[in-house]
Structure 1
């Protein structure tokens, strides 16, 4: 080590101290002590480690002892040993039983001298003593392996009967020879040189039989334990990546034709040339698969809401590149272990680039004074900084991996009961903060409905908004206070007292979701008297006075001239300010879609907050802040570009997908099995579940683990709706109220195409990350950390993809359900003769 360092190097003192420390350890070793220095893996010249190359699987093994380790006459010349061979070797050297499931073989050089049990045979010649000692120790090793294999086969029946018979024959033959050698050594008084030569031959033959037995058993186990179905892996990855590629081509407006698909599949077949059956299968399915992909691509092209080809935008290109970089980074174990920080970095990078690009673009197109430009961009700057602050603050809720010893557990992830004595002041602050985090969204939802007039007319909808959801927030807060009680006291309470509050919360959340399905049109048709008062106020009074005459809880109005009965409001075009007295007036019709979706979102938010606990409630608020800032910046861009039809840019969908992965980690989770919070299954339930209710704990654990994916999937339609909702919220004259979300009813086909386009974009970005985990798990299936890092990451991403698809289908299905119900409501109430 020192030979690579100059005497003026800053590393020289530290390395000298390390070498002197090792020297002091060696000098203090006693005669019966063995020092083993080894590495768990090797490294290539480029620094790669953990793979299956010869440089990575090889490592040095250094053994030292003050006493003699091996006999002058060497047993074997063995340059390499397996890591599993250390287990039986160290166990026998320590005098402890060999672990039951061991499959390793003893290292011969450490057994040249007899153990206490073998010293009873005192007539062993010096020439064969090292070999005899090793064979006796190896017999113990083989006997342990044989016991394990027989037990494993009796329980699973996994091994071939012929191979088991063959291995047993080898064992019996070796055991017979060892018994004969022992009898010869005990019976003969004088051993001649010829006898010594015969003993050497017999001992070598016995050692070969024992070694061949261990090799045969090891191969048997490798056939059933360490084999991968490469054919299925390549088929699955090829199909998934091919469909993802075709979907991205269609989304970006690239025409998909038959020659392109044939070329794509031919390239896949060439890449899989190493697997001849797979190559033949690809060639066989080439033409029919191309027809299928072509048909799918044509169906997808019908979803494009914009005519013509896709226009390449720099922000969209960068967002796609960053998402691809994140997917490729999943092939590195270091990146996977630090993914909780990397996803936040990628999300911030997308937002920063998009914001700066918009500012610079505006600066070039609108030359003005610096002061005026700053005032005009002040709102954008505030939203941008708010996004970055929320993203940075969310890292307070990260959990630690086992591979991160430097990481400290966040105090927000500790139970409240554990903070009573050590951090009582922080406990009070955290409890009050969690209460504010669950009450603020509920209060904001009620204010939204009161301001926009979306309470509807049905009692169940009004009850859920006014009493149900606030009661849910109260139950959550009181339940968290109950969790702060020490477990010794809490366990003494009756079971119903421990589960009463969560069950009430479950009931209220379920009632809120059902009320939206029962009354999906949260708008109110005013009576003729109320409508006449508003029309008179609009016609003769200023805007502020007209608003004061609106009925309570209904501050915004939309009259029927924006719907299918336009002719009733425009009978006299010469007087544009006059309003037909018989035209109905409706409150809240411009925000029906967003109001319904917002109530569903807040209901899901309360459910997720209940499952995550009080410590992670602020993280959910930060999630909502980042969602709002992203869609608000997008809506400001749409307003400046005068887009009448909402078009969701690619960068926003990519950012949405990246934030869903970011908040998977900032809600206290990691892609490891030990990080799963199984205690969530018992929130609201005490004791064991009956067999017919096993699905309930599974659903609760999945909702807890993939809370971020569920929240972002439910909120996906907001990316499409917020621009229209934002227009409806802007102040305007009472005679020209913005149509808002009623634009969607005017062009139903365009709405469905745009929503389908958005869903396909979001699913494609999620599939891109899944494709990255599939690639990493396939490439590193022989990696040292395959089962600790890559396999769990692939499993979590696969389940996350399925959860996202489910939540996204329900969310978009609900929006389409609202669209259909609103159309029927308009036909029933507004398209009547006037």
Structure 2
């Protein structure tokens, strides 16, 4: 039965094969991720005071509290001894805390507070209200977080009948939607980083009437300012507008202090810090070094008891000279609870800050006793929970420490710190069985892809048979394996008890499907290897070696950190054999082409690698270039001349005809210039009125309106107009009627029809498809990244010419080896019966170039490198679902763009055969599977390293983020290839078939 009876088109078959690979990858990633990135078990218990027995709190020292959070307030922003040399923009600007601490040491305490990573706002709100620890994966809930259900300071305040006023960041409403006093609740949008003032002005507008009107029925005010954080995200700390914002906060604090009565406690803190670029989210030192200042007019200390105990640690801020008192940010929870006369929240792991209970030895001892009992009660409850087995290995040591804590203050502090560090390590928790199963699925996909890749190359003329076999047998294997896996769950085998029925069904379906496909295609894969020429085999060994080295590099934290420097060398290494082989090319023309285009690709790759952001671990050997404003004068001319460069490449094959001139010179150029104009207007707005109030500067308002309108027009026109134009446009060919220069006697006026661009009919049309997405990505990429994208496009085009020249060399060498001239004349490399010189170089180069483009557009395998400001391209406020889509496009768009170009390497300079058949789709599938093979192998390398080194000191800082990047990138690549084959290649083939009758 022919395959056409059950599949409508060959492209549908190709898409199904790629979808099957996507399923296998998704299954492996799902299982491994569920085992590797687990969330902490939150206990629902509440701390309550017993009717009799030891008290669970202290008499309140204050009846009210004002808690002011300046988002991203780093410790050195308020420290009297900042790093040297101090910055004029954020050092010695917010001075009131240091001044009052120096003037009244009994009323005021200044601390550097360690904020547990991930340093995102919702996770830090959880920390400073519950006293518990976040887990790495919790970071994702910062966008659309769920209600906090565990015991917290907010819960205890409500249980005590206290009224809580909330002003500012609306993230608090998602965490505690029903906990705040209705008449004193004024939340504001938290993610509009474009707006530096609205939230702060709103907090100020409602804060002082509450403070100054003594009849207002509030007990606790929470005011969360966002301006400092937004300045950091948009302009970085080293910008004059940061000084203006901190000066505003200093004025607010002075007014708050003047408004306080003796019975009100003032707490000022930063929920986290910010790095040198103003970002946060990870665990870098500057991100976790937050500020904490506590002040009371009544006084907080009568004697330096805490210092005498020798239990108060100090630290020296990075670059400073004078040590500062160090606390854990979660220490604020038990401290505030007892100062306000409340029970400590049940899940708390923080320790009371001794200085604030130094009114006497008995007070401090009682505070530590209550704190110690609360932590021990929590640990015992956790031990009896479903996750209690995590404590087995450390329970004896904790029990001994808890028993010793009954003897002295020093032992109590030591026990609580031991409990905190134990839980920090414990919640790097792993389901090893699930990890092994997920990693097995991913690892097994490597030989699966390799065998199918080789089989497709061997059966180039009958690739549909291979594809049909993969789909039928893979589906049958998935159904069989899924049922078998669910059957194992029914029997409840002991060693599989940590896997759910869904886990077993998914893993069984993926593994059995892979094994069936491997066993079914071993023979053609062996034939493909044996039929490779020595030259092709040699060319395939180098990229295979590079792939192995790339995957093994993730076992080293140093190599993982410096991957952005390794990748360009790998790519250039792939080009080196081309340069050497160019000297042995059979013609001078081919020698020049190989040398020129290989050299151009290498130079462009090297230039791209100069454009980078730096990880914290790369300092001081790395220098940030991505945020340079020196490229601003050049991005508009660059956008104007990129179409010229593309047309020059098309002109080589005379493919700059038909729709190409209009598309490149009119439509595409307009979109690129508009994308550049957006960022120029954005920069101008910041330079002219960044520190102006949000509604007080007409110029700023006008510029913001202009850039929002420009972005919307460009994105909308590109997305809709670009793809509609490409879908309906004719091919990039031109038909001409020409008269021979020397007409013959028999045909003096004979004329012929010449098709210009015929040689590259497929490639030129598909290139326009790629360029539409390039224009979208260009608009959501900052200026320096736009330069990198343009360079990446030139690199792709140059490497296309290299690959085409190598095929010409192979064709000529093959013709020279023919037994007779007639055989050479009959040779047709586009015929399906004539296999191309198949190597792994092209897929490896595509994968490496996509990774290089990712790094050179300002990204790293770190959370803090995410360019959040792109969420506002085309929008003045955070708008769902567009904001996350724009950020995702900016982050993973470079990978998608380069991968989308895969079919070009099968189509470039491939002529249609009128009424015949060419193997464009077969070659596209081979290249697609080869690209997937590269990404799968390095994905397994990063996942395996994260699993093996899961107790490594740097697992959450280096290995886990790289695995997460690799996992998402693997899915992005799979989807890009599906789009490339199911949309781009499909439409191009249909156009060519309609015009020339050529099948694929």
Calculate the TM-score normalised by the size of structure 1: 0.59
Structure 2: how far apart are the matches of 1:374 and 1:589? Answer: 24
* CA displacement 1:805-826 (0-9 Å, x = unmatched): 2222112223332245226524
The answer to whether the aligner puts 1:345 opposite 2:566 as a matched pair is: no
1:474 corresponds in structure 2 to 673
2:635 corresponds in structure 1 to 434
1:503 corresponds in structure 2 to 712
* CA displacement 1:451-486 (0-9 Å, x = unmatched): 536435xxxx98655532222233233323323325
1:277 corresponds in structure 2 to 495
2:917 corresponds in structure 1 to 747
1:225 corresponds in structure 2 to 427
The answer to whether the aligner puts 1:402 opposite 2:616 as a matched pair is: yes
Matches within 5 A, 1:292-303: 292-297=513-518
Structure 1: how far apart are the matches of 2:386 and 2:496? Answer: 31
1:644 corresponds in structure 2 to 829
CA offset at residue 378 of structure 1? 3.6
Tell me, which stretches of 5 or more residues in structure 1 are unaligned?
Answer: 1-85, 121-135, 179-201, 266-274, 367-372, 417-426, 543-574, 725-739
CA offset at residue 382 of structure 1? 2.7
Task: Select the residue among 389, 392, 398 that pairs with 2:606.
Answer: 392
1:720 corresponds in structure 2 to 906
1:658 corresponds in structure 2 to 848
The answer to whether the aligner puts 1:696 opposite 2:905 as a matched pair is: no
CA contact (8 A) 1:773 1:793 kept: yes
Quickly say closer, same or farther: Cα 1:576–1:626, change in 2 above 3 A.
Answer: farther
Matches within 5 A, 1:574-653: 588-642=757-811, 644-645=829-830, 646-653=836-843
Quickly say closer, same or farther: Cα 1:148–1:673, change in 2 above 3 A.
Answer: farther
CA offset at residue 333 of structure 1? 0.6
CA offset at residue 286 of structure 1? 12
1:452 corresponds in structure 2 to 655
Structure 2: how far apart are the matches of 1:708 and 1:818? Answer: 23
Structure 2: how far apart are the matches of 1:745 and 1:223? Answer: 67
CA contact (8 A) 1:664 1:706 kept: yes
CA offset at residue 685 of structure 1? 1.0
Structure 2: how far apart are the matches of 1:161 and 1:771? Answer: 31
Calculate the TM-score normalised by the size of structure 2: 0.50
CA offset at residue 240 of structure 1? 1.0
The residue matched to 2:330 in structure 1 has which SS? coil
Structure 1: how far apart are the matches of 2:673 and 2:933? Answer: 39
Quickly say closer, same or farther: Cα 1:405–1:586, change in 2 above 3 A.
Answer: closer
CA contact (8 A) 1:593 1:815 kept: no
CA offset at residue 801 of structure 1? 1.4
Task: Select the residue among 294, 305, 330 that pairs with 2:554.
Answer: 330
The answer to whether the aligner puts 1:816 opposite 2:964 as a matched pair is: no
The number of residues matched between the two structures is: 588
The residue matched to 2:764 in structure 1 has which SS? helix
Farther off after superposition, 387-396 or 306-315:
306-315
Farther off after superposition, 803-812 or 590-599:
590-599
1:59 corresponds in structure 2 to none
CA offset at residue 328 of structure 1? 0.7
1:381 corresponds in structure 2 to 595
* CA displacement 1:527-549 (0-9 Å, x = unmatched): xxxx7xx25x148559xxxxxxx
2:627 corresponds in structure 1 to 413
CA contact (8 A) 1:635 1:723 kept: yes
Quickly say closer, same or farther: Cα 1:223–1:804, change in 2 above 3 A.
Answer: same
Structure 2: how far apart are the matches of 1:91 and 1:376? Answer: 69
CA offset at residue 772 of structure 1? 0.9
CA offset at residue 706 of structure 1? 2.1
Quickly say closer, same or farther: Cα 1:98–1:289, change in 2 above 3 A.
Answer: closer
CA offset at residue 502 of structure 1? 1.4
Tell me, which stretches of 5 or more residues in structure 2 are unaligned?
Answer: 1-308, 316-322, 332-347, 459-465, 470-476, 482-492, 691-699, 812-827, 831-835
Structure 1: how far apart are the matches of 2:505 and 2:775? Answer: 53
CA offset at residue 752 of structure 1? 2.6
The residue matched to 2:313 in structure 1 has which SS? helix
2:343 corresponds in structure 1 to none
CA contact (8 A) 2:915 2:996 kept: no
Task: Select the residue among 364, 370, 374 that pairs with 1:143.
Answer: 370
CA offset at residue 602 of structure 1? 2.1
Task: Select the residue among 867, 878, 892 that pairs with 1:677.
Answer: 867
CA offset at residue 711 of structure 1? 1.9
Structure 2: how far apart are the matches of 1:804 and 1:766? Answer: 8
CA contact (8 A) 2:682 2:707 kept: no
Structure 1: how far apart are the matches of 2:725 and 2:377? Answer: 61
Quickly say closer, same or farther: Cα 1:237–1:162, change in 2 above 3 A.
Answer: closer
Structure 2: how far apart are the matches of 1:352 and 1:87? Answer: 63
CA contact (8 A) 2:405 2:415 kept: no
The residue matched to 2:980 in structure 1 has which SS? helix
CA contact (8 A) 2:842 2:927 kept: no
Quickly say closer, same or farther: Cα 1:145–1:278, change in 2 above 3 A.
Answer: same
1:705 corresponds in structure 2 to 891
Report which of the two has the higher share of strand: 2
CA offset at residue 388 of structure 1? 2.7
* CA displacement 1:407-464 (0-9 Å, x = unmatched): 45444423x4xxxxxxxxxx4xx234322322223234567789536435xxxx9865
The residue matched to 1:793 in structure 2 has which SS? helix
The answer to whether the aligner puts 1:800 opposite 2:969 as a matched pair is: yes
Structure 2: how far apart are the matches of 1:765 and 1:162? Answer: 38
* CA displacement 1:720-741 (0-9 Å, x = unmatched): 11242xxxxxxxxxxxxxxx2x
1:668 corresponds in structure 2 to 858
2:815 corresponds in structure 1 to none
The residue matched to 2:701 in structure 1 has which SS? coil
* CA displacement 1:773-818 (0-9 Å, x = unmatched): 1011101111111111111111111111112222221122233322
Quickly say closer, same or farther: Cα 1:150–1:592, change in 2 above 3 A.
Answer: farther
CA contact (8 A) 2:351 2:371 kept: no
* CA displacement 1:463-518 (0-9 Å, x = unmatched): 65553222223323332332332526356223422312212211331244323454
* CA displacement 1:395-417 (0-9 Å, x = unmatched): 22111111122145444423x4x
2:4 corresponds in structure 1 to none
Quickly say closer, same or farther: Cα 1:378–1:96, change in 2 above 3 A.
Answer: closer
* CA displacement 1:292-336 (0-9 Å, x = unmatched): 335424776899899784526112112111111111101111111
The residue matched to 1:747 in structure 2 has which SS? coil
Task: Select the residue among 421, 440, 444 that pairs with 1:238.
Answer: 440
The answer to whether the aligner puts 1:515 opposite 2:724 as a matched pair is: yes
Greater Rg over alpha carbons, structure: 1
Structure 2: how far apart are the matches of 1:87 and 1:623? Answer: 58
Quickly say closer, same or farther: Cα 1:745–1:407, change in 2 above 3 A.
Answer: farther
The residue matched to 1:335 in structure 2 has which SS? helix
Quickly say closer, same or farther: Cα 1:375–1:477, change in 2 above 3 A.
Answer: closer
The answer to whether the aligner puts 1:100 opposite 2:100 as a matched pair is: no
Report which of the two has the higher share of helix: 1
* CA displacement 1:26-74 (0-9 Å, x = unmatched): xxxxxxxxxxxxxxxxxxxxxxxxxxxxxxxxxxxxxxxxxxxxxxxxx
Structure 2: how far apart are the matches of 1:398 and 1:284? Answer: 43
CA offset at residue 277 of structure 1? 2.2
